[in-house]
Homo-oligomer: A and B are copies of this chain.
Amino acid sequence: MTEANPEFMRMAIALASEGASTGQGGPFGAVIVKNGEIVATGNNRVTSTNDPTAHAEVVAIRAACNILQSWQLTGCELYTSCEPCPMCLGAIYWARPDRVYYASDRFDAAAIGFDDEFIYQEINCALPDRKIPTSQFMREEGLAVFKEWSEKTDKIEY
């Protein structure tokens, strides 16, 4: 494991600034590094691409996985200008890089109007208390597909 490298964080922050000032989306940037070399970068593009999932980390993870031709970021480090929101934290856990560094945090993001901290709160709410009403429905039929999966002999696990 290497030490945090200010150069990569400075680049993530510069991407955040550039993406916001050119109207691509919110002020967020990310850089993915492997063996001291940049694999891919990303900045928030939600509003310019009509894609609510186009956060800096997700954009960078998708680009890095495409370049590495892998759904795993083993051996990589992710630098992001702000603490990952729950969506991006989930994406990170599915991509499994070795390490994550962030600069500003969810509370700083909340202070300029972003929902990151709100979503962290919602995740721990019981279903009846969620702001987006959510309910379980037809579990038995859903389980049938999981049984198929568990019996599938040629499945690729991730």
Which residues of A approach B to under 8 Å, CB–CB? 1, 4, 6, 9-10, 13, 16-17, 20-21, 23, 25-27, 46-47, 50-53, 55, 58, 61-62, 65-66, 68-72, 81-83, 85-105, 108-109, 111-113, 115, 118-120, 122-124, 132-139, 141-146, 148-150, 152, 154-158
* CB<8 Å pairs between A and B, sample of 26: A4-B137, A13-B145, A17-B148, A20-B148, A21-B152, A27-B146, A46-B94, A47-B156, A51-B71, A52-B65, A52-B91, A52-B94, A83-B136, A85-B94, A87-B91, A99-B134, A100-B133, A101-B136, A102-B134, A102-B137, A103-B142, A104-B146, A105-B139, A108-B142, A113-B157, A124-B124
